A = this chain, B = another copy of it.
Amino acid sequence: MSVLRIASTSDPGSAAGALANSFREEGRAELQAIGPRAVNQAVKCIAVARGYLASSGVDLYFVPSFVEVDMSGETRTGIRFMVRSRTPVPALRPRRRADTPRQSPEPDAPTAEAWQDI
């Protein structure tokens, strides 16, 4: 399972799009954030993603835990958010640009390069 790293500068809407896509692909997702502002963005991201996935019958929740992360040789404590659904996840597929209507409230997911490392 891929881990989405949320930075303090991550846009919650874009991150929520990436989270929703990851969830559609794998039926679950995981976020990691280090520092108060990144944790705040991660929580907002999940709140927004709940709205994105609600119409598919997905009822997101998350389980937080502490995680030790190595950053350039220095160990820092961050938060890991395991994201799951309270309802059975229907067979979903990632939303591609081609089948996203122009007026969709869900922004395109950022590319991997757009993600800032923790």
Residues of B within 8 A of A35 (CB): 40
Cβ contact within 8 Å between A66 and B79: no
Contact with B along A28-64 (1 / 0, CB 8 A): 0000000111011001101100100000000111111
Q: Which one of B40, B47, B50, B61 contacts A40 once the chains associate, using CB atoms below 8 Å?
A: B40
Residues of B within 8 A of A37 (CB): 36
Copies of this chain in the oligomer: 2
Residues of B within 8 A of A44 (CB): 64, 66, 79
Number of interface residues of A (CB under 8 A): 21
Cβ contact within 8 Å between A46 and B64: yes
Residues of B within 8 A of A46 (CB): 64
Count chain B CB atoms within 10 A of each CB in A47, A50, A84 and give the residue with the most.
Answer: A47
Residues of B within 8 A of A47 (CB): 64-66, 79
**Interface residue ranges of A70-118 to B (CB < 8 Å):** 79, 84, 86
The residue on B at minimum CB distance from A40 is B36
Interface set of A (CB-CB < 8 Å, partner B): 35-37, 39-40, 43-44, 46-47, 50, 59-66, 79, 84, 86
